Chains A and B, each alone.
Chain A
């Protein structure tokens, strides 16, 4: 890493990203627009992930950034992560309610009374909308899915590595318990190789999800003891030594039981996923090599944008 970037304060690095038009602040903490360079880097990262993860047996699923709110109910997300949740409220009032809304807007008053909870929520994890679609019996050997989606996590921060809205690229397995374990192990090795192959200094660390409250401390402890989550960490900027770029999650039968998914033998299925934080990997590359992608090592450019250096 060049020493000039190595000595930077966190705010200086954000200034570089914003000053170069790589990231564009929107006025809401944690919500960033992407400039041309960042968009190009993220496209390269996603194409690389697709080329590595998408084998012939992998099925592609793309979900919109909203999902049925019942996914949050059935998956236990509201119990574990109410603080990260975003639900969608919509207007369904009459002309009078519309006038009241505009009056409130004029007066600078709250107008949340004009909106009601809809049957939609913001997507909590790229793979969450997948499970309700799999209800029923799986084929022997299970199924694999390539899932990419926009995710919402209500944790506003000035650190670009902690965005409120971001993209996740996931490879999900649903099937027999041994298949899920094998998938988790293989994908962890693959993530280390893939990100390490881009010249990023990465390591695997046992991890926990940011569960809410007192019950959350128990959930985190059980998760850690069970080795249910392992993160692949790497540096994304000066604000913290490392950030999770990817994580491998062993759900056991949590989602399958919640969404009535059974193996070919009729037992509760197990699932496991590897999720890549696309923006974080992009930031890690920018922090490692600088904001001028044409100066990046040819080997890295070739992996992200095949043919570009020829």
Chain B
């Protein structure tokens, strides 16, 4: 239980720390941002969205969300873990980043180039 709790805390930290991402995270955030530009259909330019901005407030719809999910899975050749298939996972770039790490995307900058491209 304690281990699970600390994992959750780490996850929350991963998802909320986005203001000053680490170098590897910056590259990953850039890739996520590009996927949002291509597939998210936000009401604003996704290229200027910060890591912690609420994507739903910025116009991410349920179908936009699924498009982003599928594009990220294809790009990184991973599948989001079952328990991450929920609205919260796609609420911000930082949340998506945390979910990608948790689903198997390596925590280094090289990963941002992706296996699926």
Contacts and interface: CB of A to CB of B under 8 A. Distances in A.
A139 B90 CA distance: 36
Interface in A195-224: 214-215, 217-219, 221-224
A212 B66 CA distance: 12
Interface in B35-90: 56, 61-63, 65-66, 69-70, 79-80, 82, 85-90
Contacts of B80: 214
Contact of B63 (A217, A219, A221, A225): A219
Nearest to A225: B87
A74 interface: no
Contacts of A79: 63, 66
B67 to A, nearest CB: 9
A254 B79 CA distance: 27
Contacts of B89: 218
B66 A215 contact: yes
A218 B85 contact: yes
B62 A223 contact: yes
Contacts of A217: 82, 85-86
A76 interface: yes
Interface of B: 56, 61-63, 65-66, 69-70, 79-80, 82, 85-90
25 contacts: A79-B63, A79-B66, A214-B79, A214-B85, A215-B66, A215-B69, A218-B62, A218-B65, A218-B69, A218-B89, A219-B63, A221-B88, A222-B56, A222-B61, A222-B62, A222-B65, A222-B87, A223-B62, A225-B87, A225-B88, A226-B56, A226-B62, A252-B61, A254-B61, A254-B63
Interface in A220-259: 221-226, 228, 252, 254
Closest 8 CB pairs of A and B: A222-B62, A221-B86, A217-B85, A221-B87, A222-B87, A225-B87, A215-B66, A219-B62
Contacts of B82: 214, 217
A215 B86 contact: no
Given A215-B69, A228-B62, 10 more contacts: A214-B80, A214-B85, A215-B66, A217-B85, A218-B85, A218-B87, A218-B89, A221-B85, A222-B56, A224-B87
A57 B70 CA distance: 43
A229 to B, nearest CB: 11
A278 B26 CA distance: 54
A76 B85 contact: no
Given A222-B62, A222-B65, A254-B61, A215 B87 contact: no
B61 A218 contact: no
Nearest to A223: B62
Nearest to B66: A215
Contacts of B61: 222, 252, 254
B69 to A, nearest CB: 6
B52 to A, nearest CB: 18
A193 B113 CA distance: 57
User: Which residue, A219, A222, A225, has most C-beta atoms of chain B within 10 A?
Assistant: A222
A262 to B, nearest CB: 16
Residue with the greatest number of chain B CB neighbours at <10 A, chosen from A76, A79, A215, A225: A215
A76 B70 CA distance: 15
Contacts of A223: 62
A77 B5 CA distance: 39
A239 B117 CA distance: 50
A76 B115 CA distance: 28
Contacts of B90: 218, 222
A79 B63 CA distance: 9
Q: Which of B56, B80, B86, B88 has the most CB of A within 10 A?
A: B86
